[in-house]
Structure 1
Amino acid sequence: MSGQWDEEVDVLVVGFGGAGACAAIEAVDNGASVLALDRFTGGGATSISGGIVYAGGGTSHQEAAGFEDSVEDMLEYLRLETEGAVSDETLRRFCEDSVANLEWLESHGVPFDSSFCPYKTSYPTNDHYLYYSGNEITPPYRDKAKPAPRGHRVHGKGTSGKGMTENLDASARRRGVRVWTQTSVTELLTDDSGRVVGAECRQVRPGLARTAHRLLSTWNRKLNIYYRPLGKQLDKPIRRIEQRHAVVKRVRAKNGVVLAAGGFAFNRQMLAEHAPNYRKGSAIGTIGDDGSGIRLGESVGGATARMHRVSAWRFINPPLGMVKGVLVDRAGERFVNELMYGAKVGDRMVNEHDGHAYLVLDQRILDEAKKQLPSQTLWFQRLQMEVLFRSAHHKADSIAELAGKARIAEDALQRTVFAYNEVARAGGEDEWGKAAEYVQAIDSGPYYAFDCSLRSQMGYPCPMITLGGLTVEEESGLVTREDGTTIPGLYAAGRNASGICSESYVSGLSIADCVYSGRRAGRSAATAS
């Protein structure tokens, strides 16, 4: 195409979160001039995440904590989790590069630590930064792949994702990456051959509107984490500013454009189309995770894959004592090992049990969990559990009465609890493979049923991210068409692309994929002829 350009660079990166920052750094380190655009102020979903990177094969932190791991053991485990989302060659390369990618992050100022969490948790406290972040020690995984802790949490208080994105942002800028914040890409531009040569975008003008846009987006992001209906009240004012107070700019990308603008968890229409079972979940990230990057790729012929896959995290632990209860559906039947990682629990709950789940336990188990609360939780985990303990539950003097109050099938629930108690008292093998130390009879009333269903609940959300995206050539990250041919000049990374974690998710795998796919796309775009 012809026309006036406002800016020319070698590589244009759309989205400056985890994947986008990695792509930008890798591109500039390979000799390219780089401009990164972000609808808000950068960081994306990674900045408000727990900052977990799934890494193994013998990292320095694993070794310092006294754990042996190998590429083969990591590969064998991830084969079970990823279920063919990428080729075996790509998965092996991901595992082989794992140690180097973690060291690469550290070289850009992202801090990690080797303090190991001695108990199973969904997210460790500020005392621990290495842990089993998936299903490694849970059957059938532990029986097929040698376990090792591979969840590497960025060192920092609270949810430490911000510590990752801030350091990557600073490193990128030091290297000469230019960043346009509060800038949304509206169209990809192509030449007569179909090659992507740039993008058109809208940038919020300097002044009061720009300040308001920044403040509103910050509060919107925070509110969305805990109760989306509140955060949603700020969506329209943010969009109104973007529509009324923005200027149009056109950027030429001589080597290529990298799409790294996140998933589509905040796009209800796309969820209804691709993953309708998850519409009641609580999206995590920013409202920039609206599928815009994926739609940009589709607009020039890009194909998509695994758009139906969503990861909803139904965590019941910490405190660890909670897993001694039983998770049942409305029919009163157990459907999972309660020690399973929250994404696996959520997957079965949503896709096999209509999004409903109830954790049933007794006073003795609850008392133990309450004692663990101060030492095993961070403030946000403690807040969620306090909501459950104080109000978000049903209480009764018998299992039959509890079933009636919670609207669970009474006869089936009584049979489920009776069978569970029999195994607990006999020291037998749990039918779902839960370790014997966590199988405890539920026989000391009163009894409780905690609603763990998918729907948004104030104080106890079920966070979710989308996993599918644009199909890419696995060697380069180039976006591909339905027929498998590549679209010249267009790359995708992170949750804009179908990748390592697009079939199944464990903590840290998405960010690790952002690093892997972001670096791949940035390197390929920088060196493209």
Structure 2
Amino acid sequence: MIIDKSIKWDKVYDVVVLGFGGAGASAARFAADNGAKVLLVDKAPEGHEGGNTRYSGQNVGYTPDPQKFRTYYKALAQGFHIDEDVEDTVINGLANMKEYFSKYLEVEPFVFGEHPDDNPLSHTADNQTTATHPEFPDSSASELMTVHNGMFDSALWTVLRERVLDRMDDIDVWYDSPAVHIIQTLDKTVVGVQIKRKDKVRNIGARNGVVLSTGGFSNSKIKIQDFIGEHHLAPVGTLYNTGDGIDLALEAGARLWHMTTYNSAGIVGDLTLPVKEGERSVFQPADIDAKEMYTGSIFAVGDDGTRYCREDIFSIEGWFYNHGQWRTPQAPIKPYVVFDQKQYERLAKIDHVPYQRALKNFLISANSVAELAAKIDVKPETLTSTIDTFNSYAESGNDLDFHRAAATLERFDTSDTIYALPMVQSVAQTHGGPKRNGKAEIMDPFNNAIPHLYGAGELGSNIVRIYQGGENLADCLIFGKVAGENAAKAKHDKDALFENGNDAATGASVKADPDLASDLKKKYTFELGKNQYLGVSSAGMGNDIVVRVTVDDNQNLKNIEVLQESESEDYGKRAIKALPKIMVEKNTYDVDAISGASSSSRAMKEAVKQALDSAKEKNK
């Protein structure tokens, strides 16, 4: 959107950051630390911001040997082009990641390699290494770290969000406020953003810079088709990554890169269990242990009813070895896992919520191969041939098509009920977006920096080809810092556009429109009656869980009210609903976690404990 001097600003900031995930949180705090008044916006409602950072494994890349890691980094690119200045920024950032954690995140990093017998990967079935590809040269230089000894618990996201909250005097946050246009002058300098805020499109000025950190496009079927070339992929992360940043970048005249690169996460050819439309697909570490999905009388079929993958091999961060190269998985439009009655009985015993839900809501059963073939829309003779061939491999112990391990093959029995479970091809994260340089400046098609426009995180990340675990979160931290610092630098070339109605001391306009106020709250103001106490925890998958606990005169638990929470619909809500009743019945916060909702359960217990501790302190 091109403007001239006649534009009317609704509000003006020094820096506007689009996207409140790991990259956006980092960019906003570093811009604020460098003297900028910042607006940080996200299209998601409060409690659902965080992007894929919230749902990720929480592990961040690090290298103790940057020179060796450079060799490994080039091997991951598989001969694809790497921009040298971007490579330098990445490797320097990885080399200094331990200091980053202690100095900026204010936590001491848990480095996996320093705890070889007690880290999240050492407990996996195959004792994975910190290097995604240990066979590549100098892979030993690749390390991982977390903010504590744990994964998949939003711990890093919680820390990043807290660093923003620590700076709420300098950072305004707007939830549920998507950016709709980049505002530029005739010479393409970015001077602001149009943002839809409470049903009104607002012109928000940015004196020094705009940071694009809106995440990828994993939940945009059209962009998946246009850029990756697959029919559809089911996101296992946030549902709010719909590629808005790509549209904004193109509007600003940006060059795109890495558009076909993505990584998946799942089982059996990187498939995930089916979910209802509008829900995110789910992949958790427990899925890896569900050997019933690939051991026994069970196999996966593609759109024509034939097997298309080796079911007992997991991808390496979404990539499979294929005749000398590493490639993303085949992605059938309608994949199924097919199994017989005895295998169904094994699957039904898996004590993991997604499997229970899938078998209850999506399972297809039939009394014959022909009937099942009709229900999954494949030719009966094809499915019959697939079963016959599978049985011959099970009997010989030799899978001639895909070399599945003999111990995982068992004859398929068609004399009883047979089943098909629809699956979905997954996507964990996409890496394409606007090209950036080592200064986090977004580039135009001729490799010139677009003035005042910066990028960080999954949107146009540094990942060229094969994904190394922890590298995307590292990109969020590294380029978030670089983008925030550079965006905050004072730029006076467009000062005339911002002369009217602004407070030069604070960097933000002083209009008193309540719709333009920050959504961040300084404290909770819930009413408390007799024997009532407030408890707060940020240990869940969402934002703060706030509870009001009522006790009797002897401090026995009488009632627990959840006043605020934003836990995930798939698992977290179950804990929020079930635990208060259980705690009151047992008169203690220390109860068993709800299956599949360990983080939400932990947060509920922590919040109730805090309230009970307050009660004890008051009644000493």
- Please state which band the TM-score falls in when normalised by the shorter chain: 0.5 to 0.7
Separation in 2, partners of 1:192, 1:72: 40
Q: Does residue 179 of the first structure (1) align with residue 172 of the second (2)?
A: yes
Corresponding residue number in structure 2 for 1:392: 362
TM-aligned CA distance change 1:323 to 1:147, over 3 Å: farther
Corresponding residue number in structure 2 for 1:452: 423
Q: Does residue 326 of the first structure (1) align with residue 299 of the second (2)?
A: yes
Decide which of 59, 63, 69 is 1:71's aligned counterpart.
Answer: 69
Corresponding residue number in structure 2 for 1:285: 238
> 1:154 deviation in Å?
6.5
Q: Does residue 479 of the first structure (1) align with residue 433 of the second (2)?
A: no
User: 2:441–2:453: 8 Å Cα contact kept in structure 1?
Assistant: yes
Corresponding residue number in structure 2 for 1:66: none
Q: Does residue 356 of the first structure (1) align with residue 356 of the second (2)?
A: no
TM-aligned CA distance change 1:52 to 1:507, over 3 Å: farther
Percent identical pairs in the alignment equals 21
Corresponding residue number in structure 2 for 1:207: none
User: 2:258–2:463: 8 Å Cα contact kept in structure 1?
Assistant: no
Q: Does residue 262 of the first structure (1) align with residue 215 of the second (2)?
A: yes
Q: Secondary structure at the match of 2:294?
A: helix
Deviations 1:67-113 (A, max 9, x none): xxx73685366335xx7374477457635643643663465157768
Q: Does residue 250 of the first structure (1) align with residue 193 of the second (2)?
A: no
Decide which of 492, 501, 524 is 2:455's aligned counterpart.
Answer: 492
After TM superposition, the score normalised by the length of structure 1 is: 0.67
TM-aligned CA distance change 1:420 to 1:154, over 3 Å: farther
TM-aligned CA distance change 1:97 to 1:290, over 3 Å: same
**More deviation in 517-526 or 396-405?**
396-405
Corresponding residue number in structure 1 for 2:474: 512
User: 2:17–2:41: 8 Å Cα contact kept in structure 1?
Assistant: yes
User: 1:429-444 alignment to 2 at 5 Å?
Assistant: 431-432=401-402, 434=404, 436=405, 439-443=408-412
Counterpart residue identity of residue 121, structure 2: F
User: 2:258–2:431: 8 Å Cα contact kept in structure 1?
Assistant: yes
> 1:517 deviation in Å?
2.9
Counterpart residue identity of residue 383, structure 1: V
TM-aligned CA distance change 1:44 to 1:88, over 3 Å: same
Corresponding residue number in structure 2 for 1:165: 157
Decide which of 447, 468, 471 is 2:432's aligned counterpart.
Answer: 468
Corresponding residue number in structure 2 for 1:219: none
> 1:519 deviation in Å?
2.6
Deviations 1:337-386 (A, max 9, x none): 33233845895443xx4x12122344555555555x33xxxxxxx23211
Deviations 1:314-354 (A, max 9, x none): 2363443112343221333332233233845895443xx4x
After TM superposition, the score normalised by the length of structure 2 is: 0.58
Deviations 1:396-455 (A, max 9, x none): 577676545534444544554555555555555775465x3763234456543321145x
Q: Does residue 337 of the first structure (1) align with residue 310 of the second (2)?
A: yes
Counterpart residue identity of residue 172, structure 1: V
User: 1:46–1:285: 8 Å Cα contact kept in structure 2?
Assistant: yes
> 1:485 deviation in Å?
1.6
Separation in 1, partners of 2:129, 2:37: 39
Q: Does residue 198 of the first structure (1) align with residue 198 of the second (2)?
A: no
Counterpart residue identity of residue 521, structure 1: A
Corresponding residue number in structure 2 for 1:108: 105
Separation in 1, partners of 2:71, 2:384: 41
Corresponding residue number in structure 2 for 1:26: 30
Q: Does residue 12 of the first structure (1) align with residue 16 of the second (2)?
A: yes
TM-aligned CA distance change 1:385 to 1:145, over 3 Å: farther
TM-aligned CA distance change 1:332 to 1:191, over 3 Å: closer
Q: Does residue 525 of the first structure (1) align with residue 487 of the second (2)?
A: yes
> 1:31 deviation in Å?
5.4
Q: Does residue 315 of the first structure (1) align with residue 272 of the second (2)?
A: yes
Corresponding residue number in structure 2 for 1:303: 255
Q: Which runs of 5+ in 1 are unaligned?
A: 60-69, 122-129, 205-241, 375-381, 455-461
> 1:132 deviation in Å?
6.5
More helix by share: 1
> 1:20 deviation in Å?
0.5
TM-aligned CA distance change 1:157 to 1:56, over 3 Å: closer
TM-aligned CA distance change 1:102 to 1:414, over 3 Å: farther
Question: Per chain length, whose mean CA-contact separation is higher, i.e. which structure has more relative contact order (CA < 8 Å, sep 6+)?
Answer: 1
TM-aligned CA distance change 1:368 to 1:186, over 3 Å: closer
Counterpart residue identity of residue 98, structure 1: L
Q: Secondary structure at the match of 1:472?
A: coil
Corresponding residue number in structure 1 for 2:544: none
Separation in 2, partners of 1:426, 1:453: 31
**More deviation in 148-157 or 33-42?**
148-157
Q: Secondary structure at the match of 1:71?
A: helix
Counterpart residue identity of residue 104, structure 1: Y
Separation in 1, partners of 2:139, 2:409: 25
Separation in 1, partners of 2:12, 2:40: 12
> 1:178 deviation in Å?
0.7
How many residues were matched structurally?
Answer: 441
> 1:470 deviation in Å?
1.2
Separation in 2, partners of 1:393, 1:117: 35
Corresponding residue number in structure 2 for 1:63: none
Q: Secondary structure at the match of 2:121?
A: coil
Counterpart residue identity of residue 180, structure 1: V
> 1:17 deviation in Å?
1.3
TM-aligned CA distance change 1:133 to 1:318, over 3 Å: farther
Larger C-alpha radius of gyration, 1 or 2? Answer: 2
Corresponding residue number in structure 2 for 1:458: none
Q: Secondary structure at the match of 1:189?
A: strand
Separation in 2, partners of 1:413, 1:87: 48
**More deviation in 191-200 or 422-431?**
422-431
Q: Which runs of 5+ in 2 are unaligned?
A: 113-118, 266-270, 274-286, 321-326, 492-620
Separation in 1, partners of 2:164, 2:403: 46
Q: Does residue 50 of the first structure (1) align with residue 56 of the second (2)?
A: yes
User: 1:263–1:291: 8 Å Cα contact kept in structure 2?
Assistant: yes
TM-aligned CA distance change 1:479 to 1:72, over 3 Å: closer
User: 1:24–1:172: 8 Å Cα contact kept in structure 2?
Assistant: yes
User: 1:327–1:357: 8 Å Cα contact kept in structure 2?
Assistant: yes
Q: Secondary structure at the match of 2:206?
A: strand
